[in-house]
Amino acid sequence: MRNTNAEIVPMIMEKTLSLLMKKNPDEITMREIAKECGVTATLIYHYFADKTELFQEIGLDCILKLNDIITQAAEKKRTPKTKCIAAARAFRDWCFENPRKAVLVMSGIKSKEEGAEEDLQKFYVCNRTGERLLKEAVDEGSAHSKNIELDVGILISGLWGCCETVILKKSGAEYWNNGVDFTDRFIQLWANEIFE
């Protein structure tokens, strides 16, 4: 993204996210985004190289907001174990409260595959938060993990898989409106493996 205008870029991102709540990314054109924003496509191209970059910036913004939610949920707990579990549940709750956004962020928006390592790592901020929380539990002695990054990656990937299964109604029908039980079981299995 090029130098940003304090008012234009947030408006472009907000209007584009609004479109993404109704249509799949491949169904949206830059002209449509420009029309929704009341600006020219040329102006949008001044800030974003293409719609993939714009969508990735929106995805990153969602991820950063999700990370704030995860962090706040963990901070309300006292022990490292309850912090990890609270963070996982906050991730799950966000997915269920924002199903369309969750599907877009986790699988609908093309992942950033190249660029500066620092920029790529921003997309893994939730993983880094989870790793920090699990490391606290390991250091305290209430958890065991030979590979914290792997164990947190499995938690996030597996939990997202469970959430997506419920959101897309691919789980048993009894969980379509009760995804908490479905996902709590996964969180419990993971916690039982990690915590003493």
Per-residue pLDDT tens digits for 25-72: 999 999 999 999 999 999 999 999 999 999 999 999 999 999 999 999
Per-residue pLDDT for 94 more than 90?
yes
pLDDT at 115 over 80: no
Q: What is the mean pLDDT of residues 143-149?
A: 97
**Does the pLDDT at position 110 exceed 80?**
no
Task: Please write down the HEC assignment for all residues of the chain.
Answer: CCCCCCCHHHHHHHHHHHHHCCCCHHHCCHHHHHHHHCCCHHHHHHHCCCHHHHHHHHHHHHHHHHHHHHHHHHHCCCCHHHHHHHHHHHHHHHHHHCHHHHHHHHHHCCCCCCCCHHHHHHHHHHHHHHHHHHHHHHHHCCECCCCHHHHHHHHHHHHHHHHHHHHCCCCCHHHCCCHHHHHHHHHHHHHHHHEC
1 has pLDDT over 70? no
Q: Is the pLDDT of residue 120 over 90?
A: no
For residue 121, the model assigns a pLDDT of 82
What is the per-residue pLDDT for 119?
Answer: 74
